[in-house]
Amino acid sequence: MRYRSYVPQGLWQRTRWIRLAFIVGLVVGLILGWLFHGIISLVMQFGLVAILLLPIVIIGFLWWRASRRPSERPMTVMTWRGGPSEPSGTVEDVPFTTADRPRTAASDIEAELDALRSARDRERREGRSL
Per-residue pLDDT reduced to its tens digit, 16-25: 899 999 999 9
In the predicted structure, residue 78 carries a pLDDT above the cut 90: no
Instruction: With CA atoms as reference, report the closest residue to 59 among 71, 48, 49, 67.
Output: 67
The reply to whether 60 falls in a domain is: yes
Instruction: State the Rg of the chain over Cα.
Output: 43
Residue 59 in any domain: the answer is yes
How many domains does one find in the chain? 1
Q: What angle do CA 50, 54, 58 make, to 5 degrees?
A: 160
Over 80: is that where the pLDDT of 80 sits?
Answer: no
pLDDT value, residue 65: 86
pLDDT band at 79 (very low <50, low <70, confident <90, very high): low
Q: How far is CA 58 from CA 46, 50, 66, in A?
A: 18, 12, 12
Max CA-CA distance within the chain? 119
SS3 category, 94? coil
Confirm whether 37 is domain-assigned: yes
20: containing domain: 14-67
Spatial separation of the C-alpha atoms in residues 64 and 53, rounded to whole Å? 16
Q: Does residue 46 form part of some domain?
A: yes
101 burial level (CB within 10 Å; 0-12, 13-18, 19+): exposed
